[in-house]
C-alpha cells in the first residue's frame, strides 16, 4: 500500500482497472465484483478529498455516453444533429425526425434447437422489444410424430413453449418470427407500428369456448394470409383457422378453453 502524500502521487495519463476493455464497454450496473473495493479519489490539496467506488464511476461516465465501438445498450432519447451512418445490423424501435415520428417494424426471425427428452423450453429473443411481441411459431424435424404445442409467458425479451409430449428427435428445431405489435390490447384501434398491409396483434379469448371470431383491427383489401398461435398456461390445445376473409377469421380449438387464452395473429395481404 502506498503511503505517499497526494502531492507525491504520480499523475496518470489514462484511467485503467483490472477488468478488460470489453467489460467496461458492456457495463450494465454494479456487477464487477473485482472492483467492489476499488475506489477513484478526487482530491484538492489542503481543501477537500472525496472517493467513489470504481463501478459507480464507470456507471456515471459510461451510462450516458455513446461509444464508438464495442457492445452497448442505449435507452432514452438520442438526438443526432447531422447525418448518421449505421454500418451492420441495427434494431431501432423508433426514429424521430423533427416533429414527425416513424415507427420501424422490428421483425426478427430465428431458430432454436430443442433438446431431447424435454417438452418445455424457455427461449430468449435476440433483442428486447419495447412491447410484448406477436409470435408466429412452427417446428422442424426430419422424422417422428407431429407434436402440438402452446406458447406461454411471453414477455418483451423471452417466451416459453410447451409440447404435448417430450421431444425424441435429435434434429428438432423451433422456428420463431417475432413482430412488434401494430395494434395492442388496451390501446383501441390505434396503429402503433406502420406495417403497411400487414397487421400483428394479440386477441384475448374467453374461457369455456371451442371457437372464436377474430376481427382484424383494419379491414384488408383482400383475404389475407394468416398465422395464429395460442398462448396460455393450461394444457396444450390444438387449433385450426377457418373462414378467413378480409375483415375476420375464425379459430377452432380441439376442446373448450379451460381459462382465458391469447391468440397471436399475424395477417399479410397476398403479393
Q: How many helices (H) and strands (E) does the chain have?
A: 2, 16
pLDDT at 108: 94
Contact 133, 154 (CB under 8 A): yes
Is the per-residue pLDDT at 188 higher than 50?
no
pLDDT at 23: 44
Strands 173-179 and 248-253 turn out to be unpaired
Q: Which of 17-26, 61-70, 123-132, 229-238 has the lowest mean pLDDT?
A: 17-26
pLDDT tens-digit map of 95-125: 555 444 455 567 899 999 999 999 999 999 9
Mean predicted confidence (pLDDT) in 239-243: 95
pLDDT at 118: 95
Is the per-residue pLDDT at 24 higher than 60?
no
Residues β-bridged to residue 100: 97
Residues β-bridged to residue 123: 159
Is the per-residue pLDDT at 68 higher than 70?
no
Is the per-residue pLDDT at 85 higher than 50?
yes
pLDDT at 52: 79
The DSSP 8-state label assigned to residue 6 in this structure reads G
Closest Cα partner for 244 from 267, 264, 263? 267
Q: What Cα–Cα distance (Å) separates residue 181 from each residue in 135, 189, 192, 246?
A: 9, 12, 7, 19
pLDDT at 115: 92
Mean predicted confidence (pLDDT) in 149-163: 96
Residues β-bridged to residue 200: 266
pLDDT tens-digit map of 169-179: 889 999 999 99
Contact 235, 250 (CB under 8 A): no
What is this structure's pTM?
0.61
Q: Which range has the top average pLDDT, 43-47, 144-148, 193-197?
A: 144-148
Contact 110, 124 (CB under 8 A): no
| Strand ranges for 141-224 from DSSP E | 149-152, 158-163, 173-179, 199-205, 211-215
Q: Which of 16-20, 147-151, 183-187, 209-213 has the lowest mean pLDDT?
A: 16-20
Amino acid at each position: 500500500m502506498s503511503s505517499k502524500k497526494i502531492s507525491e502521487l504520480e499523475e496518470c495519463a489514462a484511467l485503467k482497472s483490472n477488468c478488460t476493455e470489453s467489460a467496461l464497454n458492456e457495463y450494465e450496473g454494479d456487477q464487477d465484483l473485482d472492483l467492489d473495493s476499488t475506489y477513484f479519489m478526487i482530491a484538492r490539496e489542503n481543501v477537500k478529498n472525496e472517493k467513489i467506488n470504481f463501478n459507480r464511476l464507470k456507471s456515471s461516465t459510461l451510462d450516458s455516453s455513446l461509444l464508438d465501438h464495442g457492445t452497448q445498450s442505449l435507452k432514452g432519447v438520442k438526438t443526432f444533429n447531422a447525418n448518421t451512418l449505421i454500418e451492420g445490423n441495427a434494431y431501432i424501435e423508433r426514429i424521430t425526425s423533427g416533429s414527425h415520428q416513424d415507427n420501424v417494424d422490428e421483425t426478427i426471425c430465428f431458430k432454436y434447437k430443442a433438446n431431447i427428452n424435454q417438452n418445455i423450453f424457455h427461449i430468449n429473443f435476440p433483442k428486447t422489444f419495447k412491447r410484448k411481441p406477436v409470435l408466429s411459431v412452427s417446428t422442424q424435424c426430419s422424422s417422428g410424430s407431429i407434436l402440438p404445442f402452446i406458447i406461454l409467458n411471453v414477455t418483451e425479451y423471452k417466451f416459453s413453449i410447451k409440447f404435448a409430449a417430450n421431444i425424441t428427435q435429435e434434429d428438432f428445431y423451433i422456428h420463431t418470427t417475432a413482430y412488434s405489435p401494430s395494434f395492442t390490447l388496451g390501446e383501441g384501434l390505434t396503429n402503433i407500428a406502420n406495417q403497411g398491409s400487414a397487421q400483428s396483434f394479440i386477441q384475448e379469448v374467453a374461457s369455456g369456448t371451442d371457437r372464436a371470431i377474430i376481427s382484424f383491427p383494419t379491414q384488408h383489401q383482400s383475404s389475407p394470409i394468416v398465422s395464429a398461435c395460442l398462448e396460455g398456461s393450461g394444457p396444450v390445445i390444438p387449433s385450426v383457422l377457418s373462414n378467413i376473409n378480409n375483415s375476420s377469421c375464425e379459430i377452432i380449438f380441439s376442446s373448450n378453453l379451460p381459462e382465458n387464452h391469447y391468440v397471436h395473429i399475424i395477417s399479410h395481404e397476398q403479393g
